[in-house]
Each structure stands twice: as C-alpha cells, then as structure tokens.
Amino acid sequence: MTVMIGQLRSVVIDCPDPRALAAFYAELLGVPFAEGDSDDDWVVLGGPPGHQPRLAFQQALNLRPPAWPDPERPQQFHLDVTVDDIEAAEKAALALGARRLPGEGEGFRVYADPAGHPFCLCWD
C-alpha cells in the first residue's frame, strides 16, 4: 500500500489575465468561483481546499503561451474535458473564446483557451 504524502489542492494555470481565463473555464466546466480565494493576480474555481475539482489561475505577465504542436513551445499541461455531444460542445467552447488547434484523434479534438493553453474535448 502506498502512503499518501499529501492531497492535490489545485491545478494552477499561469496566464496574463487570471479573472478572464477563470471566467472561460467556469463556463466551459460549470465550476463556480471559489468564495474568498481570489484577488487580481490569483483566481480560484471550485470549493474550499480539499474539495475537487479546483483550478487556480495565477498572473504571469510575460507568459510565452504554448504553440501547439510546436515542440519549441510545448503545451506544458492540458486538461481533458469529457463531453456528451462534441459538435454542441465545440460550438459552445468556441463561443466562449476557445479556438480549434490542429490535431485530433479517436475520441478527442484539440483547442486553445483564450490565453493559448491547449485543452481537449473528449468523448467515448
């Protein structure tokens, strides 16, 4: 049996405008803004620490966003988002400010959020 050292508190995403990117993911994922956990350079979605999922957005003024699929500027991280209807989900994500990126596979399509981070819409 593996001993747990700690629990995941948040996945933190660097971006130029934390509030704007948090609003994008709040709509995309249906996760609310966390009460009392935000200011101008740090915004959290989800419940209090220990309640999943939690996404945090941290201001990074000089961020060089990933350039999918360019290995000179790799994706750094990405989120997989499960959807029931890919066509409806794509339309909604694009309306929020996402953009389609090259690449897709069996059961997924690749997009960029408004700050340039790749994410995938996935279906079974």
Instruction: Tell me which CATH homologous superfamily contains domain 68-123.
Output: 2,3-Dihydroxybiphenyl 1,2-Dioxygenase, domain 1 (3.10.180.10)
Domain 8-61 identical in fold to domain 68-123 = yes
Distances in Å between the Cα of 107 and the Cα atoms of 44, 84, 85, 95, 116 are 29, 11, 11, 21, 22
pLDDT of residue 6: 63
Predicted confidence (pLDDT) per residue in 65-90, tens digit? 888 888 888 877 788 898 999 999 99
Query: 8-61 belongs to which CATH class?
Result: alpha beta
For the chain, what are the domain ranges?
A: 8-61, 68-123
Report how far residue 69's alpha carbon sits from residue 110's, in angstroms, rounded to the nearest whole number: 10
pLDDT, the chain, mean: 87
Predicted confidence (pLDDT) per residue in 21-54, tens digit? 999 999 999 999 987 767 889 999 997 766 777 8
Reported confidence tier of residue 113, pLDDT bands at 50, 70, 90: very high
pTM: predicted TM-score of the whole model, two decimal places: 0.80
